[in-house]
Structure 1
Amino acid sequence: MTETPSSASPASPAAKGFTLIEMLITVAVLAIILTSVVPSMRAFVARRHLDGASAQLQADLHFLRSSSVALNQALRISVHSGSAGSCYLVHSGDADQCACTFVAGAEPVGNCEPGAELLRSQAWAGNAVAVRANVASMRVDPRHGTFSPTGSIEIQAGDGPVLRHVVNILGRLRLCAPGTAITGVAAC
């Protein structure tokens, strides 16, 4: 038996590699995914900033009340805000003895005059986190641990939602969200 040569050519080995078309399709799919993820990621980061600032304020309000009673000294929290940033200060002395210094391009700094002592401060430059209050300062009576005047302090991260901390006369905090609903927070 004789073999006849076949006219079919031997199979070429499979091409290996990544074609330009495949790369462009991959880039297009990634671009579509990123355009849907980036806005929600920004909202997620802003919410984490808001939660962190809120937790710090709550801790500082508890610190203020307990320190005032422990030291048997009237202490207060003062809130300052401006176009360059905002801050709150936990201090002794009168409300006008401590303030934040706002310098463009730098973090706000808390300063107190002689006779007053700065115990804690939190400051944010620009509008990354904004702190506002309906009273300039709240004083804690060391004998009873009561706040006077009572008030509310609002924290907002960028242009996002607002968390309001309502402080009653006994220093208890109630957290609520005015306007926009926030998951896990009661509406005001």
Structure 2
Amino acid sequence: MKRPIKNPNAKGFTLIELLISVALIAIIASLAAPSFTTMIATQRIKGLANEIMTDLSFAKMESVQKNQCIAVDFSAQGYTITQLTTCTTTTGATIKTVNNISASNNSFSPSSGTTYLGIKFEPVRTTATITGTDLVISNTNASTRSLKIVANTMGRAEICSPSATITGFKPC
């Protein structure tokens, strides 16, 4: 015995309509996924560059506040902020170490040559002694995008975008 339909005008989706909608959403999401990957990689580059700028400002202010030379030395793995015993030495107490920057697929490289950037902030004249070359930050998921940290002898650092690949920063 058949049951009578209680409401023949009931509204809803059929199974086929629902499957077609899900398939369209999956296609659109798969087209947008590469854009999200590049966007996330770009944000990681920006975040690391801003963290470095904050730490460079911190090192300069620590130099003035403690009236001692502070050095910031970069390597392929990260960077170290050191309070030097005197301005002519290269050793002292480590204030901060940032290692394993490759965990987020970021990498450092010198803009030319093989010598990484090193900055020594002097408290008396509030100047900086710079060794090495500018630092380039890139990400393996966005290989065409990078940012460069450029420091000058006045102890000021700035971020620029080589070939204007990342918006919001001046081109270098």
TM-score of the aligned structures, taking structure 1 as reference length: 0.72
- Could you say which residue in structure 2 is the equivalent of 1:142? 123
> Structure 2 vs 1, CA of residues 65 and 126 (structure 1 numbering), >3 Å: closer, same or farther?
same
Match of 2:80 among 64, 81, 89: 89
Matched, 1:130 2:107: yes
Any unmatched runs of 5+ in structure 1? 1-11, 98-115
Amino acid at match of 1:152: D
- Could you say which residue in structure 2 is the equivalent of 1:24? 19
Q: Quote the Cα distance in structure 1 between the aligned partners of 2:158 and 2:53.
A: 10
Matched, 1:34 2:10: no
Match of 2:54 among 29, 54, 59: 59
Question: How big is the alpha-carbon RMSD for the aligned residues of Structure 1 and Structure 2?
Answer: 2.5
Any unmatched runs of 5+ in structure 2? 1-6
Moved segments of 4+, more than 6 Å: none
Match of 1:152 among 128, 134, 142: 134
1:36 shift after superposition: 2.2
Deviations 1:122-151 (A, max 9, x none): 222446221234535221122112111254
Q: Quote the Cα distance in structure 1 between the aligned partners of 2:136 and 2:97.
A: 16
Please tell me whether the aligned partners of residues 77 and 91 of structure 1 are also in contact (alpha carbons under 8 angstroms). Answer: yes
The alignment of Structure 1 onto Structure 2 pairs a total of residues equal to 156
Residue 186 of structure 1 aligns to a residue whose secondary structure is coil
- Could you say which residue in structure 2 is the equivalent of 1:50? 45
- Could you say which residue in structure 2 is the equivalent of 1:167? 151
- Could you say which residue in structure 2 is the equivalent of 1:68? 63
TM-score of the aligned structures, taking structure 2 as reference length: 0.78
Please tell me whether the aligned partners of residues 149 and 158 of structure 2 are also in contact (alpha carbons under 8 angstroms). Answer: yes
Q: Quote the Cα distance in structure 2 between the aligned partners of 1:60 and 1:144.
A: 20
Q: Quote the Cα distance in structure 2 between the aligned partners of 1:70 and 1:154.
A: 29
1:180 shift after superposition: 5.2
Amino acid at match of 2:165: A
